[in-house]
């Protein structure tokens, strides 16, 4: 028996070691690649990033898109999901289907569909107010069409996060208690339900943020230049800088997830009972 | 039973459905219209065609499953199936090693890292692999891999890169199921003189099967939908359906084939729907098993 346990430990150690190697080597190699230069170690790829042409514009556009996407997504999803908890099982099922369907359409196909819709503008809607709308959502300064795409792409992720958060608290009892104390509907939701959902809301926001920061498909095909598309164009001319950005993006994802874990942990000490 | 529910409905000003109206409206416009555009476009002769523009045709769909497009679709399915299979085969033992580890820290570290890496797709992944295993990559130079016939810009290279986010995804997906395996089952098997292999073959794997298949399908879907990694890493050397769609959309298409991209998208959705049709019931079944 002792021999078996020893063998198991050995096997476990070997598996973890090989996996660790496979996942750490590309990271280490990337870091090395980004600072390795003929004259020795050089951080130019990182320091040169800020001054690179287009960097700030692309980053600002991406952050704006991310912020608007998160706000729109939460504004649409949170009231619907809270109401679904108070409503019937049928309603929950409908929302689940609606929020899961985007998974079936890969980003490239979704983009193709969006382009198909945008083409209706000049083709059929020239003299209607819809045409102005279609022009408006494609403004290069702030392409709302990307927000639409991003909200759809992050819908399944955000739904999962919020739904598991809502599952952990008894929404019906909370709302009824608040209502019995004379709170209005908005007040009951804002001051009683939302604070209990803090970590789920953060979770959904971070996942959406990470998705928007890295999104390349829709933006590049539709011809806009947020951060990921800018990185791609840099990668063609300056390999080191694109790798430096990759290293940074990995670090940023890591920090986001650590923040998320920290936010989730704070709520642990008072587990909800249902 | 009915009366209180009805009363609650009346109190909630128009019922809970009212709160879902914005979401449903957004979905109908943002998702419904593109879906409609794909289906109608796929079956319509392009408006830039010389005659009969806008009329019903199955030519787009027929074209989309022929020649280079068919090759790309097959190659996408092959790549996704292979990487999902390998990802499952590697992810399971890795997750098992993590779950049974004595050290809490190992478990936390691997699961956090998996969370990060499962989201580490797209461009950064491509650049990291170019820096590691590309022609001028550090590991390639160190071991002179090019002399041994290695090329990152191939089917194999792409598969190796995809596994970098697929394996962590599998670890995240399968860990809850492995946690659900009771220790008593293993002890019971051991008391009946079952070997480790017999325990896995007759007890653990049958219970895990729905979760494993579900994870496989999730991996398949992720690999199938991926576009950025492939386009930044291998360019056009490995034909993929997602790249064909992007190419068709960004211009260089023959006159009268503008709707081909939509037909290709429809092909892609059909594959994804078939895959999802396997996934969703399985997910429910595994949830029942391991609750």
| Cα separation values, A50 from A9, A57, A119, A158, B214, Å | 48, 11, 37, 32, 43
Contact present, B98 and B200 (Cβ < 8 Å): no
Distance (Å, whole) CA A184 – CA A55: 47
Distance (Å, whole) CA A247 – CA A225: 20
- Planar angle of CA A27, A33, A36, nearest 5 degrees: 135
Q: Which residue has the tokens 């109206």?
A: B21
The answer to whether residue A268 scores a pLDDT higher than 50 is no
pLDDT, residue A2, reads: 66
Which helix (H) or strand (E) is B235 found in, with range?
none
pLDDT, residue A104, reads: 87
Tell which residue, A82, A191, A75, A87, has the closest CA to residue B14.
Answer: A87
Res. B152 pLDDT band, cuts 50 70 90: confident
pLDDT, residue A1, reads: 59
The span from the first CA to the last CA of chain A, in angstroms, equals 43
The answer to whether residue A76 scores a pLDDT higher than 90 is yes
Res. B48 pLDDT band, cuts 50 70 90: low
List the single residue in B17, B38, B276 with the smallest CB-CB distance to A87: B17
Contact present, B64 and B260 (Cβ < 8 Å): yes
pLDDT, residue A270, reads: 46
Asked if B26's CB is within 8 angstroms of A151's CB, the reply is yes
The tokens of A80 are what?
A: 């619907």
| Residues A128-151: b if buried by 16+ CB within 10 A, e if exposed | eeeeeebeebbeeeebebbbbbbb
- With a pLDDT cut of 90, the percent of chain B lying above it is 27
Residue of B nearest to A147 (CA): B30
- Which residues from chain A sit within 8 angstroms of residue B130, using beta carbons? 239, 243
Question: Which one has a higher pLDDT value, B112 or A264?
Answer: B112
- Which residues from chain B sit within 8 angstroms of residue A117, using beta carbons? 33-34, 36-37
Distance (Å, whole) CA B117 – CA B91: 13
List the single residue in B97, B250, B280 with the smallest CB-CB distance to A15: B97
Q: What is the ipTM of this complex?
A: 0.85
Residue of B nearest to A9 (CA): B101
pLDDT, residue B10, reads: 47
CB-based contact, B224 to chain A, within 8 Å: yes
Residue of B nearest to A137 (CA): B30
- Planar angle of CA B123, A207, B105, nearest 5 degrees: 95
Q: What is the DSSP letter of A158?
A: H
pLDDT, residue A233, reads: 86
List the single residue in A4, A11, A106 with the smallest CB-CB distance to B242: A106
Distance (Å, whole) CA B196 – CA B193: 9
Map residue A36 onto helix, strand or coil: strand
Across chain A, mean pLDDT equals: 85
Residue of B nearest to A159 (CA): B23
Distance between B181 CA and the closest CA of chain A, angstroms: 17
Read off the pLDDT of residues A177-191 as tens digits, 9 standing for 90 and up.
998 998 888 888 888
Mutate to test the interface with A, among B26, B163, B190 (most CBs of A within 10 A): B26
The tokens of B68 are what?
A: 């280079």
Contact present, B69 and B262 (Cβ < 8 Å): no
Tell which residue, A214, A197, A107, has the closest CA to residue A161.
Answer: A197
The tokens of A230 are what?
A: 């800018």
The answer to whether residue B1 scores a pLDDT higher than 50 is no
Res. A271 pLDDT band, cuts 50 70 90: very low
Which of A57-66, A263-272, B166-175 comes out lowest in average pLDDT?
A: A263-272
Residue of B nearest to A228 (CA): B123
Distance between A23 CA and the closest CA of chain B, angstroms: 7
Tell which residue, B263, B27, B269, B33, has the closest CA to residue A119.
Answer: B33
Burial (Cβ within 10 Å: 0-12, 13-18, ≥19) of residue A41 = exposed
* Beta-carbon pairs below 8 A across chains A and B: 229
The answer to whether residue B88 scores a pLDDT higher than 80 is yes
Asked if A117's CB is within 8 angstroms of B34's CB, the reply is yes
Contact present, A111 and A218 (Cβ < 8 Å): yes
| Cα separation values, A172 from A6, A33, A41, A75, A199, Å | 52, 55, 60, 20, 19
Asked if B124's CB is within 8 angstroms of A249's CB, the reply is yes
The answer to whether residue A261 scores a pLDDT higher than 60 is yes
CB-based contact, B228 to chain A, within 8 Å: yes
Asked if B26's CB is within 8 angstroms of A105's CB, the reply is no
Asked if A110's CB is within 8 angstroms of B225's CB, the reply is no
- Which residues from chain A sit within 8 angstroms of residue B264, using beta carbons? 112
- Work out the number of other CB atoms within 10 angstroms of the CB of residue B202: 11
A36: left (phi over 0), alpha (psi -120 to 50) or beta: beta
Which of B119-123, B178-182, B213-217 comes out lowest in average pLDDT?
A: B119-123
The tokens of A52 are what?
A: 């690179």
Section A116-143 average pLDDT: 79
Distance (Å, whole) CA A102 – CA A123: 27
Distance (Å, whole) CA B60 – CA B263: 6
Residue of A nearest to B222 (CA): A106
The answer to whether residue A129 scores a pLDDT higher than 80 is no
């Amino acid at each position: 028996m002792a021999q078996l346990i020893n063998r198991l430990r050995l096997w476990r150690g070997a598996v973890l070691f090989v996996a660790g190697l496979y996942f750490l080597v590309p990271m280490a190699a990337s870091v090395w690649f980004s600072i390795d230069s003929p004259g020795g170690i050089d951080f130019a790829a990182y320091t040169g990033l800020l001054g690179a042409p287009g960097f700030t514009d692309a980053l600002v556009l991406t952050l704006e898109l991310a912020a608007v996407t998160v706000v729109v997504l939460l504004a649409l999803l949170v009231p619907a999901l809270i109401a679904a908890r108070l409503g019937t099982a049928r309603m929950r099922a409908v929302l689940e289907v609606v929020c899961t369907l985007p998974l079936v359409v890969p980003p490239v196909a979704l983009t193709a569909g969006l382009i198909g819709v945008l083409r209706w503008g000049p083709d059929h809607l020239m003299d209607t107010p819809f045409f102005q709308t279609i022009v408006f959502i494609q403004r290069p300064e702030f392409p709302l069409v990307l927000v639409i795409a991003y909200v759809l792409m992050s819908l399944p992720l955000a739904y999962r996060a919020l739904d598991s958060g809502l599952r952990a608290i008894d929404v019906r009892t909370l709302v009824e208690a608040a209502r019995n104390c004379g709170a209005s509907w908005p007040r009951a939701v804002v001051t009683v339900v939302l604070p209990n959902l803090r970590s789920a809301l953060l979770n959904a926001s971070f996942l959406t943020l990470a998705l928007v920061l890295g999104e390349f498909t829709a933006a590049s095909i539709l011809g806009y230049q947020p951060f990921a598309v800018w990185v791609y164009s840099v990668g063609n001319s300056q390999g080191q800088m694109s790798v430096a950005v990759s290293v940074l993006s990995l670090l940023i994802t890591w920090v986001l997830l650590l923040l998320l874990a920290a936010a989730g942990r704070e709520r642990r000490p008072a587990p909800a009972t249902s | 039973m009915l009366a209180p529910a009805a009363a609650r409905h009346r109190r909630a000003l128009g019922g809970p459905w009212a709160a879902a109206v914005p979401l449903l409206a957004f979905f109908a416009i943002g998702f419904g219209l593109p879906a409609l555009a794909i289906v109608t476009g796929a079956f319509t002769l392009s408006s830039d065609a010389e005659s009969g523009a806008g009329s019903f045709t199955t030519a787009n769909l027929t074209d989309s499953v022929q020649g280079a497009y068919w090759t790309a679709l097959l190659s996408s399915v092959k790549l996704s199936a292979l990487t999902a299979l390998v990802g499952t085969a590697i992810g399971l033992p890795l997750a098992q090693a993590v779950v049974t580890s004595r050290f809490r820290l190992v478990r936390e570290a691997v699961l956090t890292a998996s969370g990060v890496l499962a989201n580490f797709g797209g461009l950064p992944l491509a650049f990291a692999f170019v820096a590691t295993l590309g022609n001028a990559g550090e590991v390639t130079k160190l071991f002179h891999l090019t002399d041994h016939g290695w090329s990152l810009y191939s089917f194999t290279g792409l598969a190796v890169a995809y596994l970098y986010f697929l394996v962590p995804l599998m670890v995240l997906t399968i860990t809850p199921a492995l946690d659900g395996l009771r220790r008593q089952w293993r002890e019971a098997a051991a008391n009946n003189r079952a070997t480790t292999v017999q325990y896995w073959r007759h007890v653990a794997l049958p219970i895990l099967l729905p979760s494993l298949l579900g994870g496989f399908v999730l991996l398949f879907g992720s690999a199938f939908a991926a576009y950025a990694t492939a386009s930044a890493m291998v360019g056009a050397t490995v034909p993929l359906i997602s790249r064909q769609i992007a190419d068709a959309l960004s211009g260089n298409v023959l006159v009268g084939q503008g709707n081909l991209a939509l037909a290709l998208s429809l092909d892609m959705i059909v594959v994804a729907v078939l895959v999802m049709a396997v996934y969703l019931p399985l997910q429910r079944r595994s949830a029942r098993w391991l609750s």
